[in-house]
Amino acid sequence: MPLKPNRTRWNDALSRVDATRFEALIADHYRAEGWSVDRVGAEATGRKYDGGIDLKLRRGDAYVVVQCKRWTAKQVPHNDVHELIGVMLTEHATGAVLVTCGEFTHAALVAASRQPSVQLVDGEMVRRWIDLAALEAEAAREPSGGSAGTDDWTHVFTQRGTDRASAPRSPTGQGASVGAIAAAVALIAFLAFVVLPLRSVTTSPTTRAPARTREGSLAPAPYPTIPNTAPATPTHTPERSGRLRAVSEPMERATTTYLREAGIPDTRRPIDHEAARMAAKNVSGVRSALWLDHDNFVVMVDGADHRSMAMIDDVCLALEPLGDTLAVVVNVQDITAQHADGATTLSRNCQLAEGQRALFQRKRQVDVVAPEVRALFKGQQSE
């Protein structure tokens, strides 16, 4: 379904800031309100995925997750509200805020009204938070093409004009065995060197690859002149191509089998994350879905009956046409759970037994309290 356009088209300084500055403006507002703000979004950290959270707010016992959408042309739909509700439950947060510099659809407003802990902030409210005149003045003084630091914008708020310094962040990498990685890369490179040339000669025996000119355009390669009236015999006859195909196809099957037995996802068949989200939403019982990182796919379901390994099987079957599901770990959560046991996440790799992971695929703890700790605590209570 296409997104609906905003009813009001703003043309001011706020509508012209980029996503990073928009997040910074919202963060500074909450700091001025006394919240401790941690910027964890992809725009601020440079990471590829942010798990649906741009800001984490803490004040006393309250913990609120915030998602910022700098949408100037389209309304934010109800799907984003449902996803934020799932993120809030996953984070065990006390509240959630969805902020946009534009507008929300009617369905989004209705969905948020059913969750008292979810707040929607539209562009009209954001413009009440900040001093647009000061923001316009800062935009006029900013050098063309430059990017001012986020702290340069703190004084545009009418609530507070003090300077705030941002703590430096350093990206954290995932540890991995260098030797294992090198061995896997060497294996894949060897298989590509052996299999791909064989595949290329069997595709079209009578077609020559065009030659690339210096300017980068494609030009047909000239055939060599043959000083003979007899027609030239093609290098790759149908019989020869058939023999090459007979060799290459078993090798490709052997490669696929080896990768699966070694627990290595097939990088030739990656799964598109957005397509996976759309496919999962078509599974009966699924409310929404999101990616925590490159491997972990979280599915929010309606009711305890759908929180099962059978649901994981159904989701994996929906993802099967999109690529190699060995690279996917499905995490199922019941968003209607009323107690801790019901809210526990069920996790499993699509092609492996429960508790197993593919090569280089780390186990991620989705719940705040680890299942082992919860089981130990319950055992002590029963004694």
One-character DSSP codes across 313-356: HHHHHHHGGGS-GGG-EEEEEETT--SHHHHPPEEEETTS-TT-
Q: Identify the architecture of domain 13-156 in CATH.
A: 3-Layer(aba) Sandwich (3.40)
Contact indicator for 2, 73 with CB cutoff of 8 Å:
no
pLDDT bin (cut points 50, 70, 90) of residue 62 is very high
Dihedral over alpha carbons 249, 250, 256, 260 (to 10 degrees): 160
Q: Read off the tokens for 230.
A: 């007899």
8 A C-beta contact, residue 60 and residue 18? no
Q: Which residue has the higher pLDDT, 166 or 289?
A: 289
Look at residue 170 and tell me whether its pLDDT is greater than 60. no
Q: Which of 212-221, 267-276, 366-375 has the lowest mean pLDDT?
A: 212-221
Where along the chain do its domains lie?
Answer: 13-156, 273-382
Q: Is 51 left (phi over 0), alpha (psi -120 to 50) or beta?
A: left
Task: Report residue 169's pLDDT band, with 50, 70 and 90 as the boundaries.
Answer: very low
Mean pLDDT computed over every residue of the chain: 75
Contact 41, 33 (CB under 8 A): no
Quickly state the pLDDT bin for 231 (edges 50, 70, 90).
Answer: very low
